[in-house]
Amino acid sequence: MDAISTMNKATPSEMTLDMPAQDFSLKPKVKHFWQGWIPFIARLITFGGAIALTTYATNQMILTISQADTTVLQWIMVGLFCITFVWIALAACAAVAGFIFSGKSRDVSAMDISTKKTVLLMPVYNEDTSEAFGALYAMGKELTEKGLNGQFDIFIISDSNKPELWVKETAAFQKLKEALSPDIKVWYRRRFNNTAKKAGNVHEFVCRWGGRYDYMILLDADSLLSASTLLTLMQEMASDENSGIIQTLPCLYRGDTLFARLQQFAGTIYGPIVARGITAWQSNDGNYWGHNAIIRVSAFAESAGLPTLGGVKPFSGDILSHDFVEAALMRRAGWSVKMLPALKGSWEESPPSLSDVAVRDRRWAQGNIQHLAVLKARGLRWPNRFHMLTGVMGYMASPFWFALILIGIAMAIQIHYVDVEYFTTELTLFPNWPVFDSERMVSLFIFTMVILIVPKVLGLIRAFFHSPLRKPLGIIRMTLGMLVETFFSVLYAPIFMLIHVKHIIDIFRGRDSGWNTQQRQYTGTPWLALCRRHFWHTVIGLVMAAVLSRYSPMLLIWLSPTLVGLMFSIPLSALSGSRSLAKILRYLGILNIPEEVTDILMIKDRDKFSQKLSKQLKTIDIKALISSQKLRDVHFNAADKVSIQARGEPPVDKMSLAYKINDAHHQDEALEWMSNREKIALLADKDVFNTLTKLAKTAQ
């Protein structure tokens, strides 16, 4: 082995852990103990309050329609109203609980972690290499400056299947390793079989290297955590031997489009108060969002192995939204799962536009609906079942809401066309006609709107008295930001409603979501694509507006925010990715977040390294490897061993690749003939690649 390959070994020696798939039919013999008065009171506020509010609102709806004989459509309307109302009531009551309870954790700063080892684990899948590796550099640099580098390794586990990106990843790995050497060890592995997607990637890591580490901090490609936050997470976990997962509350940042800035403002102002309420009632029965969290590796291996679901689509196959299930399984085994909402220094990025969220939500929707098949697992704690049900309703609420609107329109048409027998043969002083109590309906509408904005108002009030938000942002600008965010949220909500309706229909028709890379930087969407994507949203909005203008002008007024959002869905979708409007609002101080007002050195370090790395990677591709022995050495030292094919399953891609190289007259011709799969096979085999380098570069 040459000197370069010895120096640049990409993976450490393996220390294996067994991570068996859990049996959902078996109930572990685990005792769960009383968690104290705070969770009990918070649950009373959240769930008791939601039940009380829903009961009141539903009763008011019944009284509204009970002025005469009620129809089937009216009772269906009551049912749909009850289902949709309970979820906004839960959010409001959780915000009230968050307003009452602080969410502060105990002081663990004296906890010794010198004997503990943590890995910063970043799974990547066709990501922007310079951005992801830039975040790892910033974290590694700050850990070194704080003297914490001895407690941490960095490990990139790749599932990327684009050959040009794989080449850039291996080059970036070498650059990152050199930049952080010798203070922090940096490792890299790209696997060839993408079984079970991200969950399978993490599973393989735990099985091969999990024994090396006490804890792992899962990162997304856009994650960034400060050194003090990483230290606190380690100390929190080390101080409680029963702790399995500790989840941070990531703050959205770096948004440069209108939609991203709306999201990060909402997360900064409203997010903490809802998170504090959720933390209060869930206590140790918490949830896990798949990133920006610390996990006890041995506990994860022992209790969170995911089985493959049987049955029919969409419930069968690999578990897509694995994080909810992993948290539930660890809690089922007796480990605590909790969140630290008051812990700052944890960031992630928002999708840049409405279209990008729609693509991401398609996969999330399928994964969450799939949880309906997991709910039957024995031994799960009720809060974990509720987390899964909440995830399901996050998407199923849209069909219920749409159905409620359609029922209202159908009733308006029915009242217009159906002959009503106003006076029957019965002796009565009053006619029998289908009337609504309009005064009560207006009151109910106002009540519903108040409940809907409770989390926003309470979050804003908290921000007024929270100096880390008030000082950099200002009370007036925060208030204006809330008004702008609420305005656009009202317009975007009906568009998401129809997007989610289509997702649900596709899922129950058995259409798989696939595995698309999450778009983190806005690259623009052509107007033609926007027109195709939102054509039916626009048509539905126009048709409903036309019908209501004829049959129920009053209902048209009530539904006008929904209809305006749908009718203008194409320009609104385009506006969501607007950088110009985002810049104007930022200049005015509207929708700002503290990270944009106060410079954070760590974020600057990330941006600086990312920009530098992006320039260095721009010219690195397969042809660059052919021309440079040094780049080839870097790449093939980072390439994991290809697993041996099973008997009867020949390496078809490698065989066809070798044939094409032998048949080609020059390198360009060979590369032109290769498929992406064959290029991956080329980049996995040093000997075959060397054969390609011996060909003439171009036609003579």
The single-letter DSSP state of residue 676 is: H
Helix (H) or strand (E) holding 256: none
Q: How far is it, in rounded angstroms, from Cα 6 to Cα 566?
A: 60
What per-residue confidence (pLDDT) applies to 69? 66
What is the mean pLDDT of the segment spanning 393-422?
Answer: 83
What is the mean pLDDT of the segment spanning 664-671?
Answer: 94
Task: Give the Å distances, CA to CA, from 694 to 438, 662, 669.
Answer: 84, 11, 13
What is the mean pLDDT of the segment spanning 368-379?
Answer: 93
Give percent above pLDDT 70 in the chain: 94
134-173 burial code (b ≥16 CB/10 A, e <16): bbbbbbbbbbbeeebbebbbbbbbbbbbebebbbbbbbbb
The neighbouring-strand residues paired with 306 are none
Q: What three-state secondary structure class fits 294?
A: strand
Q: How far is it, in rounded angstroms, from Cα 260 to Cα 258?
A: 6
Q: Could you tell me the two tokens for 65?
A: 């329609």
What per-residue confidence (pLDDT) applies to 53? 98
Closest CA to 478 of 591, 341, 338: 591
What per-residue confidence (pLDDT) applies to 700? 63
| Edge-to-edge strand ranges of the sheet holding 118-124 | 185-190, 152-158, 118-124, 215-218, 293-296, 243-248, 336-340
The residue with greater pLDDT, 363 or 343, is: 343
Instruction: Answer whether residue 642 shows pLDDT above 50.
Output: yes
Helices and strands, counts by H and E, the chain: 30, 10
Closest CA to 222 of 508, 520, 479, 509: 520
Q: How far is it, in rounded angstroms, from Cα 161 to Cα 587?
A: 40
Contact (CB, 8 A) for 463 and 470: yes
Q: Could you tell me the two tokens for 387?
A: 């987390």
Closest CA to 562 of 387, 374, 404: 404
What per-residue confidence (pLDDT) applies to 555? 85
What per-residue confidence (pLDDT) applies to 418? 61
Q: How far is it, in rounded angstroms, from Cα 630 to Cα 642?
A: 22
The neighbouring-strand residues paired with 340 are 248
Q: What three-state secondary structure class fits 248?
A: strand
Closest CA to 185 of 215, 155, 216, 219: 155
Q: Is 60 exposed, middle or buried (0-12, 13-18, 19+ CB in 10 A)?
A: middle
Mean per-residue pLDDT of the chain: 91
Count the Cβ atoms, other than its own, within 10 Å of residue 35.
14
pLDDT tier, 3 (very low <50, low <70, confident <90, very high otherwise): very low
- pTM, two decimals, is 0.92
What per-residue confidence (pLDDT) applies to 6? 37
Closest CA to 128 of 516, 518, 514, 604: 518
- For every residue of 637-670, DSSP letters joined together read HHSPPPPPPPTT---HHHHHHHHHHHH-SBHHHH
Q: What three-state secondary structure class fits 35?
A: coil
pLDDT tens-place string over residues 183-235: 999 999 999 888 899 999 999 999 999 999 999 999 999 999 999 999 999 99
What per-residue confidence (pLDDT) applies to 557? 87
Strand 224-225 relative to strand 346-348, pairing: antiparallel
Strand 243-248 relative to strand 293-296, pairing: antiparallel
What is the mean pLDDT of the segment spanning 645-664?
Answer: 90
pLDDT tier, 104 (very low <50, low <70, confident <90, very high otherwise): confident
**Most confident option among 88-92, 509-513, 548-552:** 88-92
Backbone angles phi, psi at 676, to 5 degrees: -60, -40
What per-residue confidence (pLDDT) applies to 425? 52
pLDDT tier, 431 (very low <50, low <70, confident <90, very high otherwise): very low
**What is the separation, in whole angstroms, between the first and last Cα of the chain?**
36
What per-residue confidence (pLDDT) applies to 423? 45
- For every residue of 526-587, DSSP letters joined together read -HHHHHHHHHHHHHHHHHHHHHHHHH-HHHHHHTHHHHHHHHTHHHHHHHHT-HHHHHHHHH
What is the mean pLDDT of the segment spanning 330-345?
Answer: 96
What per-residue confidence (pLDDT) applies to 475? 97
Task: Give the Å distances, CA to CA, from 287 to 248, 335, 430, 463.
Answer: 11, 12, 56, 25
pLDDT tens-place string over residues 276-320: 999 999 999 999 999 999 999 999 999 999 999 988 777 788 998
Helix (H) or strand (E) holding 523: none
Instruction: Answer whether residue 248 shows pLDDT above 70.
Output: yes
Q: How far is it, in rounded angstroms, from Cα 454 to Cα 284?
A: 26
What per-residue confidence (pLDDT) applies to 435? 53
So where are the chain's domains? 651-700
Instruction: Answer whether residue 267 shows pLDDT above 90.
Output: yes
Instruction: Answer whether residue 646 shows pLDDT above 50.
Output: yes
